[in-house]
Chain A
Amino acid sequence: MATKIKARKKGNATEILVLVQHPMETGARKDKKTKKLIPAHFIQTMVFAINGKTVADVDMSTGVSKNPLIGIRVKNAKPGDKIDVSWKDNKGETGGAKTTVK
């Protein structure tokens, strides 16, 4: 599933925005045709790291919207710093994206 990442300056901080294309199924919705429950499928954790050091560890559940857009801000990020974001869902699927601070 496609993961997009963007880092931009916000005053003294750097904002990291991540967009994942993910259904974030609750497990409570029914398929309109088959009338069967659609199994839950959602991202559980997302870890933000800069130069290999974890700066934020996000836990989420089905309460987060489809195609999650998650943003955090860090201080002391320098141009050239490597940002690495990875996520994992309840089915064990993983994904992530990398970028560099400009």
Chain B
Amino acid sequence: MKRRTFLKGTVATSALAVAATAGLLRSGQALAAADKWPAAAFGATDLAAATKAVFGSGGTVSKDIKIKAPLQAENGAVVPIKVITALPNVKSIAIFVAKNPRPLATKVDFGSDSVGFYSTRVKMGKTSDVVVYVNSGGKILKNSAMIKVTVGGCGG
């Protein structure tokens, strides 16, 4: 575990260093960007680590989270996912593909005028559970759906 943390740390630092030397980002911007985009959560390589990075521990299964997705995806490169929930005060929705190399695909934070709805398209390397976490007024709830993939979408 320590080794993994160490490796991640060096990779992140070197990536930033490369970006800085390439002059792609000014130092201020680089810091702001790193601050805003949760690199650790997106870089996590297993589901438990990824969900923990976003929501901490916890997550109660809730049938009020509806996941609309194909049962079988012919093309893993484009799998449409729709999350609909009637839960009150939805603050954020995150979509994880359990067996992808990096499970966290996307996360959305809502302002007060949004309703519990998020639609996107994700890549899936192979047949896997798609796990959706919802923060409903501070309560962490989750649900999942199994999606079968005929042709994976992560290779070239």
Please report A residues at the B interface, Cβ cutoff 8 Å. 13, 15, 17, 26, 28-30, 32, 38, 44-45, 50, 53-66, 68-77, 88, 91-92
Contact = CB atoms under 8 A, between A and B. Distances in A.
Given A28-B101, A60-B106, A91-B24, A45 B36 contact: yes
Contacts of B120: 60, 64, 68-71
A60 B100 CA distance: 14
B106 A59 contact: yes
A71 B119 contact: yes
B102 A62 contact: yes
A60 B101 CA distance: 15
B64 to A, nearest CB: 16
B102 A63 contact: yes
B136 to A, nearest CB: 16
A60 B105 contact: yes
Interface in B56-80: 77-80
Q: How large is the interface on B (under 10, 10 to 19, 20 to 34, 35 or more residues)?
A: 35 or more
Interface string B101-113: 1111111111101
A74 B113 CA distance: 6
Contacts of A50: 113
Given A58-B107, A73-B117, 7 more contacts: A13-B117, A53-B111, A59-B106, A62-B102, A63-B100, A74-B113, A92-B29
Given A28-B101, A55-B110, A58-B108, A65 B154 contact: no
B25 interface: yes
A69 B104 contact: no
A55 B155 contact: no
Given A54-B111, A55-B110, A56-B111, A69 B121 contact: yes
B37 A44 contact: yes
Interface in B23-59: 24-25, 29, 33, 36-38, 42
